[in-house]
Amino acid sequence: MLQNIVVSLYCGLPFDNQLLGVKMRNGLLTLAVIVAVSACATPPTPINNARSVPMERIFRADALPLANSARAVFVRDGGSSGAAAYQQLYIDGKKAASLNPGEKIEFMLTPGQHVFGALPADVFNTQSLSTINQDLKADQTYFYRIQTEGNSLRATVQRFVPAYQ
């Protein structure tokens, strides 16, 4: 009872036990929906703010940049959705790197067709690799966003143009 009175005074409501219960339930439901929806979103990480992936999580050995190679930059979204698991980046079917939220990595690739994919680190192996096919041109830079789709933790790779270009 005392708790209802304190909440009533705090919320600026007249003390009415039945009305207070309805308003609190509606307020809690609204709060739960806001938290659930905001947890689903993974905001894009600006290229300039992204941290580089540490060497111990890079699995693709790239040679020094060659003339006429294409540059592919991958940035994992920030946010809390899927933050506990690495997103595994695959290039042409081979694991290239593991990214935490807000991290980036770049690779110099031969021009031509490449398949990029992302897969959350999943000890139960319940996720499938999401891929996109890309035709890279020599001496061009391409930017890709690794994002988590809602509460499913499914990862996707999406090409984008950074704001500073």
What is the structure's pLDDT at 9? 44
CA dist., res. 126 & res. 157, Å (int): 18
State which amino acid sits at residue 2.
Answer: L
The residues facing 91 across adjacent strands are 94, 116
pTM for this entry = 0.71
DSSP 56: G
Q: Which residues, listed in sequence order, are joined to residue 98 by a DSSP beta bridge?
A: 88
DSSP state of 79: S
Q: For the segment 82-141, what is each residue's pLDDT rounded down to a tens digit?
A: 556 889 999 999 999 999 999 999 999 999 999 999 998 876 777 889 999 999 999 999
Q: Output the average pLDDT for the chain.
A: 77
Domain ranges of the chain: 2-40, 47-160
Which residue from 127, 35, 158, 147 is spatially nearest to 82, judged by alpha carbons?
A: 147
Domain 47-160 indexed as CATH 1.10.3720.10: no
| pLDDT-derived band at 159, boundaries 50, 70, 90 | very high
Helix or strand or coil: residue 67? coil
3-state helix, strand, coil in the chain (%, to 5): 25, 35, 40
